[in-house]
Chains A and B, each alone.
Chain A
Amino acid sequence: KAGVTQTPRYLIKTRGQQVTLSCSPISGHRSVSWYQQTPGQGLQFLFEYFSETQRNKGNFPGRFSGRQFSNSRSEMNVSTLELGDSALYLCASSLGRRGGANTEAFFGQGTRLTVV
């Protein structure tokens, strides 16, 4: 069974631009979560989608947004990029239901975004 696929793996953008990152979850998984990883702040939760609905959101500005499609694939968008947005963006997929293995979250390889 294929794992979580994130594209692209690497991106370089200029301040002020916007960027869209993509995540394809494991087949059958309906929950997709996004995390930002930086050396200073560590791993921080951005948001989680389940069946095309955002169920939970972290403490990030409105420049960070996401969506989920009917096939569970998800995209994350960052507008008006700032230097501080440089990070590894990780997405995770899970069954998204309560109980045991339903909560296991499997991560993709991440997208390394560099803002110059």
Chain B
Amino acid sequence: GEDVEQSLFLSVREGDSSVINCTYTDSSSTYLYWYKQEPGAGLQLLTYIFSNMDMKQDQRLTVLLNKKDKHLSLRIADTQTGDSAIYFCAEMNTGFQKLVFGTGTRLLVSP
């Protein structure tokens, strides 16, 4: 079945690294995504990773994928107060064009 789990809350200090974790159950997931949602806004696509990759880096963002354990993480380097938001991981099986979202992790960055 499809189920995506995330921890609910993460608090870090400005300048530290943040690591947001996600686990999923659908072994047929082909792509995994990270989205950011700020208050009152829609979802902003941050990055994605194909299931045959282990890592993807995009500026301050690093995505790690452990396919064996079905574990995905998003590392934000040099976290800024503007990074405070809710972060969602999502999986997709391209046969279905449907995103299954996690519960979201609220990241709070303090000065």
Residues of A with Cβ closer than 8 Å to B?
Answer: 4, 6, 31, 33, 35, 42-45, 48, 50, 55-56, 58, 90, 92, 94, 96, 98-100, 103-110
Contacts and interface: CB of A to CB of B under 8 A. Distances in A.
Nearest to B41: A109
B44 to A, nearest CB: 7
A48 B98 contact: yes
Where chain B touches its partner, the secondary structure class is: strand
A33 B101 contact: no
A15 to B, nearest CB: 25
B100 to A, nearest CB: 7
A57 B92 CA distance: 14
A23 B54 CA distance: 35
A45 B48 CA distance: 19
Contacts, number: 60
A49 B107 CA distance: 33
A20 B16 CA distance: 45
Interface string B81-97: 00000001010101011
The size class of the interface chain B forms with chain A is: 20 to 34
A99 B52 CA distance: 12
27 contacts: A6-B42, A31-B97, A33-B97, A33-B98, A42-B103, A42-B104, A43-B90, A43-B104, A44-B101, A45-B99, A45-B100, A48-B97, A50-B97, A56-B96, A58-B98, A90-B42, A92-B99, A103-B31, A103-B92, A103-B97, A104-B45, A105-B33, A105-B99, A107-B45, A109-B41, A109-B42, A110-B42
Given A43-B88, A110-B42, A103 B94 contact: yes
A31 B99 CA distance: 13
Given A103-B97, A104-B45, 6 more contacts: A35-B101, A43-B88, A45-B98, A56-B96, A92-B43, A96-B97
A58 B102 CA distance: 16
Interface in B27-84: 30-31, 33, 35, 41-45, 48, 50
Contacts of A33: 97-99
